[in-house]
Amino acid sequence: MKNQSKRRCLIAIGAIIFLILLLFIIILILALTVFKPKQPKTQVQSAKVDGVAPSVSLIPLNIRLNLTLDLQILVKNPNHASFKHGTGNSILEYRDKQIGEADIYPGYIPATGSTSFPCRLTLQVDQLASNLTSLITDIIGGHLVMETHTKIPGRINFLGIFKKHVVTSSDCQFTIAFPSLNITKQECKNKL
């Protein structure tokens, strides 16, 4: 009788250990394949000029011209987990010189979903003064090539249990056609 009960106890313990080991292997395989965090992809969807604000000061003589550019930034979440992000930052450059900056407001992107974020970016045209000949040549040529560098910190959340902090960054180069002010070409490199 004692041997039988010891045997049953060993079989039960062995079955429990086997099930725990099997569950651990399944979770490990899922964590390394299906639920491995993938890079959220960021791209500029559209850009349009919204407003022009000239400013002149007489002493010393200083002329400034600011343009407001409305950007729509699309963020695609390829993960099987939601992506909740904090305040991000997007910098606009023309010929390797920063000409504008915008904040991206906090938000939420569902699993395998995408969201478009509006950004209002003020271009400091006086920053373009050093590249004025290049700017005029590009506009007369019908296209203007600019770059954006975007960083968005956030957290990937799977089933409300597993959470991982990530920072997604995107470097995009896009071409704005003149006079239509449409984006005609765009290349982005995303990092996580």
63 pLDDT band, cuts 50/70/90, is low
154 pLDDT band, cuts 50/70/90, is confident
pLDDT digits (tens, 9 = 90+) for 20-29: 999 999 888 8
Contacts of 182 (CB under 8 A, 6+ apart): 46, 176
In the prediction, which pLDDT does 17 show?
94
Pick the more confident residue, 101 or 69. 101
In the prediction, which pLDDT does 4 show?
82
Pick the more confident residue, 149 or 33. 149
Q: What is d(CA 87, CA 154) in angstroms, rounded to the nearest whole number?
A: 9
* Lookup: tokens for 18: 């086997």
Average predicted confidence (pLDDT) for the chain: 77
- Span 68-89, average pLDDT: 79
18 pLDDT band, cuts 50/70/90, is very high
Pick the more confident residue, 7 or 58. 7
* CB-CB contact of 157 with 163 (8 Å): yes
- Span 108-119, average pLDDT: 82
* Lookup: tokens for 23: 């569950």
CA-nearest of 67, 63, 65, 135 to 97 is: 135
